[in-house]
Chains A and B, each alone.
Chain A
Amino acid sequence: MALKRFPAYLRDIQEEIETYARNFGLEFFPIVYEVLDYKTMNEVAAYGGFPTRYPHWRFGMDYEQLSKSYEWGLSKIYEMVINTNPAYAYLLEGNSTTDQKIVMAHVCAHVDFFKHNYFFSKTNRKMIDGMANHAARVRRHMARWGQEVVEDFIDTCLSLENLIDPMSPYIVRARATRKDEDDPEPEVGKLRAKGYMDSFINPPSYLEAQKKKKEEEAKRQKRRFPESPVRDVMQFLIDHAPLEHWQRDVLEIVRDEAYYFAPQAMTKIMNEGWAVYWHSRILTEKALTAAEVIDYADANSGVLATSPGRLNPYKLGVELFRNIEDRWNKGQYGKEWDECDSMDLKRNWDRRTGLGRQKIFEVRKLYNDITFIDEFFTLEFCVENKFYQFGFQERTGNWEIMSREHKKVKDQLLRMLTNRGQPVIVVEDGNFENRSELLLRHIHEGIDLDGAQARDTLRNAAKLWTRPVSLLTKVDGKGKLLRCEDGNISERSAEYSG
Chain B
Amino acid sequence: MSQKIDLDHGRFRQIIRGKIKQNLRKYISQGEMIARKGKDTVAIPIPSVDIPHFKHGDKQQGGVGQGDGEVGDALGQGQEQPGAGHQAGDRPGEHLLDIEVSLQELAEIMAEELELPRIQPKGTEKIVAWKDKYSGIRTTGPESLRHFRRTFKQAIRRQISMGTYDLKNPIIVPIKDDKRYRSWRKEPLPQSNAVIIYMMDVSGSMGDEQKEIVRIESFWIDTWLQSQYHGIESRFIIHDAMAKEVDRDTFFKTRESGGTMISSAYKLCAKLIDDEYPADRWNIYPFHFSDGDNWSVDDTHTCVELLKKDILPYVNLFCYGQVESPYGSGQFIKDLTEHFDEDERVVTSEIKGKDAIMDSIKEFLGKGK
Instruction: Please report A residues at the B interface, Cβ cutoff 8 Å.
Output: 39-40, 42-43, 46-47, 51-52, 55-61, 63-64, 68, 151, 155, 158-163, 265, 268, 306-313, 315-316, 385-394, 396-404, 409, 412-413, 416, 421-423, 425, 442, 446-454, 456-457, 460
Contact = CB atoms under 8 A, between A and B. Distances in A.
Given A55-B8, A421-B85, 20 more contacts: A40-B3, A47-B5, A57-B8, A60-B9, A60-B13, A61-B49, A161-B53, A162-B55, A306-B66, A308-B76, A316-B66, A387-B65, A389-B64, A399-B78, A409-B64, A412-B63, A422-B53, A450-B89, A453-B54, A454-B54
Given A158-B51, A385-B66, A386-B66, A416 B4 contact: no
A24 B207 CA distance: 77
B57 A451 contact: yes
A315 B9 contact: no
A161 B54 CA distance: 10
Contacts of A393: 74
13 contacts: A60-B10, A61-B50, A155-B51, A163-B54, A265-B85, A390-B64, A390-B65, A392-B60, A401-B71, A412-B64, A421-B56, A452-B52, A452-B93
A386 B78 contact: no
A310 B7 contact: no
Interface string B40-62: 00000000011111111111111
A448 B63 contact: no
Q: Which of B62, B85, B100 has the most CB of A within 10 A?
A: B62
A442 B54 CA distance: 9
Majority secondary structure of chain A interface residues (helix, strand, loop or mixed): mixed
Contacts of B75: 308-309, 390, 398-401
Contacts of A312: 66
A310 B86 CA distance: 10
A419 to B, nearest CB: 10
A446 B8 CA distance: 39
Interface of B: 3-5, 7-15, 49-78, 81-86, 89, 92-94, 100
A207 to B, nearest CB: 51
A308 B65 contact: yes
B71 A309 contact: no
Nearest to A309: B82
Contacts of A412: 62-64
A452 B92 contact: yes
A388 B85 contact: no
Contact of B65 (A310, A397, A425): A310
A47 B6 CA distance: 12
Given A399-B75, A401-B73, A402-B71, A162 B53 contact: yes
A186 to B, nearest CB: 42
B5 A306 contact: no
A63 B9 contact: yes
A71 to B, nearest CB: 11
B181 to A, nearest CB: 30
B54 to A, nearest CB: 5
A401 B72 contact: yes
Contacts of B55: 162, 422-423, 449-450, 453
A159 B50 CA distance: 9
B5 A311 contact: no
B56 A450 contact: yes
Q: Which of B60, B65, B67, B76 has the most CB of A within 10 A?
A: B65
A397 B78 contact: yes
Given A61-B12, A390-B64, A452-B92, A447 B57 contact: yes
Nearest to A156: B51
A232 to B, nearest CB: 14
A401 B74 CA distance: 6
Given A398-B78, A401-B71, A449 B92 contact: no
B11 A425 contact: no
A446 B57 CA distance: 11
Contacts of A402: 62, 71
A422 B9 contact: no
B39 to A, nearest CB: 15
B56 A449 contact: yes
A150 to B, nearest CB: 12
Nearest to B74: A398
Given A43-B4, A59-B5, A447 B54 contact: no
